[in-house]
Structures are given as structure tokens and as C-alpha cells.
Structure 1
Amino acid sequence: MATHPFQIRRALRADVHEISAMIQELADFEKESDANQATPEKLLETVNFADDVPPEHIPGFPLAGAPSRKVAHCFVLTVGDTVAGMALFFYNYSTWLASPGVYLEDLYVRPEFHRQGLATLLFGALAEETQRISDGQGRLEWSCLRWNEGALAFYDRIGGERMDEWVSVRVAGGDKLEYLKKLADDVRATSSK
């Protein structure tokens, strides 16, 4: 383990370009370079930063029942003055546990900082956050590409449980979401006759 001075903290707005760059680095590693649409501007709109103005101080917000678009959160890990990694996550909910939890969307440690225990430190911060929001009863979840054997072996070592009996399912993109809405509209139309 290296003896570099490190810090894990909630991301600040000033970190947005580093976060955007790390998301692209991760997309490149995952062979999805062209799929990344996470610009700094979009991240500023959708990630809660520690130095954001609280929503209750924004004129006209909140609209009754309207969720904020800022649903993601991010921990940044620095080594000295260098941003070395991040964990971007959001809160979810388990009906079986009747408890909130954390879903880790992206964890990334830059290659020059690998094998120094930094990913373990980020997971420790995520575990602490999960316990904080759930009175210790929540769940920390994430997905991993099947071919990423190095990450899977690491997750096994830190106590991650592979959920082989579950299949990830998604509907993504405007056309597919519109199609799903149309299917629901068709059901409504036929059931009202």
C-alpha cells in the first residue's frame, strides 16, 4: 500500500471536468467510447455537488411532487492535489428490506493509482453512506461487465456477492421509451372501450 496522502470527499462543482474525464476514461476502458454523453454541463444538471445551492433556495423550486433532476451523488478521491478516482452513485430502495440503499453507477480509479487500495477506500465510503441512509439495514449494489475479470475478482475479495440468478433489463433511449409509452396508451385505449 502506498503512503500517499489521500482524501475522499463529496464532489464539488470545480471537480466536474475531472469527473467528466474519468467517465470518458471508464467508457474507453469498457469499449464504449462513443456511448458517453456525460458532458460537464449535463453533470452539473444531474449530480448533487457539495457546494450546490440547496433546492429550497432556488426560486420556483420545488414544484409539488416534481423530483429534482439532481439524482446522482459523487465521491472524489484525491491523492495529494490530484484527482485519482471517483464513485458516482444514487439512492435506490429495496421493498424486501423496506430500506433505502445505494446503487453504484461508476467506480473508477485512474490506472496510475491502481494497486494502492484506493478502490477499497471508495467502497468503504460507499458502505458508510449506505449505512448512514438506511440505519445500517440497506444494500450497496452495482453491476460489472462479465469480461472484467480483474474487477470481478476484486469484488469477490471485498465480499461482493454475484447475483447470477438476476438479469439486468433496461429500456433506454427516446425511441424505445416512446414505444413503451405507446404500448401503455394502446392498452388504455382498448380497455376503455
Structure 2
Amino acid sequence: MQPKIRRALRADVHEISAMIQELADFEKESDSNKATPEKLLETVNFADDVALEHIPLAGAPSRKVAHCFVLTIGEKVAGMALFFYNYSTWLASPGVYLEDLYVRPEFRRRGLATLLFGALAEETQRISEGKGRLEWSCLRWNEGALKFYERIGGTRMEEWVSVRVAGGDKLEHLKQLADEVRASSNNNNK
């Protein structure tokens, strides 16, 4: 049969929940999974929940996905936190991913980064009813930042490795690989 991709329906919720648990089991985090079918119904946008004509660009998300907090002192902008919303299948909850946090050098060591993190924590609680998580990445060599993050309650995720496909050429290559799989599947089904 030809593989097909579609938006999930409410009727899929038990299979989705089972697959999330299987993934949690594989990753040795069985007890961390909170994604019950009921929680998924509350937190996942299923195709039969909304009329398709209300989804921008025929199913594409809005291109305006980033948000930013700016910290000012008087008239001067002292720092900022740029973030976007993400989703945890294990928690079955939205969260916040911090893309960039910056405090200008002349304003450092005054607790301003802590204030920005407080605003991010508040935003995370607001969108997740207190159940989500705030995540970010840090370069390994940035020991000062890593120590700061630990002081404010951050946990290093040593078992996780960031992976990305970036740029038009690499994304196009990935699409071509998928096209080859589809073509091969079509030939095998004849």
C-alpha cells in the first residue's frame, strides 16, 4: 500500500497515546509519560476539531511564531529573551523554547537574566496551566551560563543531542529522499 500522511483525528488518540508510551519505554523514561488519551484530547489540535478553512495557508502554521521579551532600564534596552511555543508529548502540554537570551555587557551581574527567566517561567505557566516546561540550548563551552542555569533550577540534558536539518539545500535533499521512498513504494506495490 502507498504510504499517506494526514492530520490526526480524534479517533486516533488511543494509538497516538500508545506510541508515545512506546517511545518513552524505548528511551527508558516509561514513568515520565503523562500523555493519556484524555490529556491528548485536551492538548492536541486534531483535524476534526476545527474547520479546515480556518487553518491559515491550507494547514500551514502562521509564519509569525516567535515572541520576544525586552528588558529596559530607563530608555535603554538592557536585554531580551526571544522564544517560541513548543509541545511535549510526554507531558501532553505546551511549553516555551527559549531561542535566545541576551543581556548587554554593561547590564550584566545585576540579576537581569533572572528577571527574563522569571518572565519566561510565567509565560510557560500561562500557556500550560502550570504543567509545561521551559527549554533552551547552551553551548558546551559556556560554563558560566551553564552554572547560572543550574543555579536557577535548569537541568542539563546530557543524554540528548541536538539534531537539525537547516538551509534550503539540505531541506530540499531531505524532501528528495522522501520522494525516492515514495517512488520505491509505488514500484513495489505494482
2:66 paired with 1:81: no
Of the candidates 144, 149, 172, which is equivalent to residue 155 of structure 1?
149
**1:35-83: CA deviations, max 9, x gaps?**
xxxxxxxxxxxxxxxxxxxxxxxxxx94442321100000000011100
2:77 paired with 1:102: no
Cα distance in structure 1, aligned partners of 2:169 and 2:73: 43
**1:136-180: CA deviations, max 9, x gaps?**
000100000000111001001001000000000000111110110
> Aligned partner of 2:99: which letter?
E
- TM-score between the two structures when normalised by the length of structure 1: 0.67
Higher-helix-fraction structure: 2
> Aligned partner of 2:102: which letter?
Y
Three-state SS of the structure 2 residue aligned to 1:192 is: helix
Match of 1:90 in 2: 84
> Aligned partner of 2:74: which letter?
G
Cα distance in structure 2, aligned partners of 1:175 and 1:64: 25
Cα distance in structure 2, aligned partners of 1:63 and 1:120: 38
Structure showing greater Rg:
2
Of the candidates 146, 163, 176, which is equivalent to residue 170 of structure 2?
176
Three-state SS of the structure 2 residue aligned to 1:74 is: strand
Root-mean-square deviation over aligned CA pairs: 1.1
Match of 2:123 in 1: 129
Three-state SS of the structure 1 residue aligned to 2:70 is: strand
Q: Structure 2 stretches of 5 or more lacking a match? A: 1-54
> Aligned partner of 1:79: which letter?
I
**Runs of 4 or more above 6 Å deviation:** none
Tell me the matched-pair count: 133
- TM-score between the two structures when normalised by the length of structure 2: 0.68
> Aligned partner of 2:167: which letter?
G
Cα distance in structure 2, aligned partners of 1:62 and 1:185: 25
Of the candidates 135, 143, 167, which is equivalent to residue 141 of structure 1?
135
Q: Structure 1 stretches of 5 or more lacking a match? A: 1-60
